[in-house]
């Protein structure tokens, strides 16, 4: 371990403190600090415009909109999902009393493999919950075609996909509902926070009821809702961060360009390339270690980097399907999920954020290259 500042996988985008102070004073003056206040309303409108979608409903994190999406669509039975994600994706299915059914991923994208979805559909299947992992778009056209043919709902966990566009159109328009995470570690953050994206005001109204205990009026509860309202302080924080998110994404882009350029000749290390026509958000920079070709295991490299003060992360290892609540499901068997297991066993997400210095990027690259020698 060196004495230098650790190089962490990410660093939060923070608003200018004086500007935030100004908004805090407005909130203090108004004495309205939560429950659909003016900053909450302003952030929902600003996000809908930025994300090019019809409606946005803010949540207090990125997990509760997943739970609420399944509630809103009244999903019961089996939900087809990916094991290669953060554990919240599958937890949301379990919390709704549904059974997760894991389907393998396509190694070209890391996302649910459309070729494998149909064989997992049974008479009990009610929905598909794919994840745009690392912000890389799922094959939404094929997933929708399968869902339509079998009468299934599609809920995208778009926690990583803030601002991602395909052919100039938001990826969040796909499926019945999409959810976002605004956690501190995300491209756009409200400290903790999240949102649901829906296609019509009637659905937004229903979701807004459900995130407020199901209250439709002072005296009427229309569903078994939950409390998942974002407060005014974090909404104001989000409004300020939205102003600088494009610059943050561009800074991340430059880091990705340098990583790719320097790693292209490193035997045994591979990474994803940008997809033509896609606006990427560079939320993560996963690399995959081929132990035989690189001459060192993924874990050996991971710990070697840590010794140098470089704290990448093995997102998403272990696979969700290997965690104790899920490992006994028939669909969790490793032989059923070869590609997901291979990715989980070889991935390291390199440090990637808007203020990663050139020196830090070069140190990461040098550490990888010298590990191989
Ligand atoms: N669906 C998907 C696909 C998701 O990836 C996630 C969350 C969700 C749903 C659920 O959304 P939320 O309910 O969380 O909104 C992080 C995040 O906690 C989690 O939001 C995220 N995905 C997951 C992939 O990663 P950790 O445990 O790895 O974060 P942590 O605390 O180890 O932080 C990583 C690094 O970030 C630190 O080493 C330094 C830096 N950091 C972190 C924090 C919290 C900071 O510099 N400042 C900070 O305040 O889980």
Q: Give the chain's residues under pLDDT 70.
A: 1-3, 373
Burial of 297 (0-12, 13-18, 19+ CB in 10 A): middle
Which protein residue's CA is at the shortest distance from atom 12 of ligand 1? 62
Name the residue of 85, 183, 348 to mutate for ligand 1: max ligand atoms within 8 A of Cβ: 183
In short, whether 92's Cβ falls inside 6 Å of ligand 1 is no
Q: What is the pTM of this model?
A: 0.98
In short, whether 183's Cβ falls inside 6 Å of ligand 1 is yes
Which ligand 1 atom minimizes the distance to the CA of 66?
9
In short, whether 317's Cβ falls inside 6 Å of ligand 1 is no
In short, whether 86's Cβ falls inside 6 Å of ligand 1 is yes
| Cis peptide bond N-terminal to 318, omega within 30 | yes
In short, whether 185's Cβ falls inside 6 Å of ligand 1 is yes
C-alpha distances out from residue 241 to 111, 231, 272, 363, Å: 28, 16, 27, 29
Which protein residue's CA is at the shortest distance from atom 38 of ligand 1? 8
Sign of CA dihedral 284, 288, 294, 298: positive
Res 1: pLDDT: 47
Interval between CA 284 and ligand 1 midpoint (Å): 12
In short, whether 144's Cβ falls inside 6 Å of ligand 1 is no
Tokens of 36: 């659909």
Res 277: pLDDT: 97
In short, whether 34's Cβ falls inside 6 Å of ligand 1 is no
Residues 6+ apart with CB under 8 A from 51: 162, 163, 170, 172, 197
First to last CA, the chain: 20
Res 4: pLDDT: 77
Which ligand 1 atom minimizes the distance to the CA of 194?
15
Res 372: pLDDT: 78
In short, whether 194's Cβ falls inside 6 Å of ligand 1 is yes
Which protein residue's CA is at the shortest distance from atom 46 of ligand 1? 11
SS3 89: helix
In short, whether 9's Cβ falls inside 6 Å of ligand 1 is yes
In short, whether 83's Cβ falls inside 6 Å of ligand 1 is no
In short, whether 131's Cβ falls inside 6 Å of ligand 1 is yes
């Amino acid at each position: 371990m060196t004495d230098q500042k650790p190089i962490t996988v990410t660093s939060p985008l923070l608003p200018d403190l004086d500007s935030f102070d100004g908004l805090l004073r407005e909130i203090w003056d108004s004495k309205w600090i939560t429950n659909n206040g003016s900053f909450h309303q302003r952030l929902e409108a600003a996000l809908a415009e930025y994300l090019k979608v019809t409606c946005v409903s803010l949540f207090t994190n990125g997990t509760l909109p997943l739970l609420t999406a399944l509630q809103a669509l009244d999903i019961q039975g089996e939900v087809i999902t990916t094991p290669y994600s953060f554990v919240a994706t599958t937890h949301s299915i379990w919390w709704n009393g549904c059974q997760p059914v894991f389907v393998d991923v396509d190694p070209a994208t890391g996302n649910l493999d459309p070729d494998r979805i149909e064989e997992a559909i049974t008479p009990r299947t009610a929905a598909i919950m794919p994840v745009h992992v690392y912000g890389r778009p799922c094959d939404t056209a094929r997933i929708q075609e399968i869902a339509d043919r079998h009468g299934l709902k599609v809920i995208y966990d778009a926690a990583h996909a803030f601002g991602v566009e395909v052919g100039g159109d938001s990826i969040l328009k796909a499926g019945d509902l999409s959810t976002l995470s605004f956690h501190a570690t995300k491209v756009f953050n409200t400290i903790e926070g999240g949102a649901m994206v829906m296609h019509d005001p009637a659905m937004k109204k229903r979701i807004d009821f459900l995130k407020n205990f199901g209250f439709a009026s002072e005296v009427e509860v229309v569903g078994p809702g939950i409390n998942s309202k974002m407060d005014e302080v974090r909404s104001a924080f989000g409004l300020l961060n939205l102003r600088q998110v494009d610059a943050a994404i561009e800074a991340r882009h430059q880091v990705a360009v340098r990583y790719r350029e320097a790693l292209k000749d490193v035997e045994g290390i591979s990474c994803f390339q940008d997809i033509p026509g896609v606006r990427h958000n560079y939320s993560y920079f996963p690399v995959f270690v081929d132990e035989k070709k690189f001459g060192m295991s993924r874990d050996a490299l991971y710990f070697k980097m840590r010794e140098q003060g470089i704290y990448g992360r093995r997102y998403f290892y272990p696979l969700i399907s290997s965690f104790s609540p899920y490992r006994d499901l028939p669909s969790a068997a490793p032989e059923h999920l070869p590609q997901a297991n291979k990715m989980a066993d070889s991935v390291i997400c390199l440090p990637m954020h808007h203020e990663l210095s050139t020196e830090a990027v070069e140190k990461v690259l040098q550490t990888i290259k010298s590990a191989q020698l």
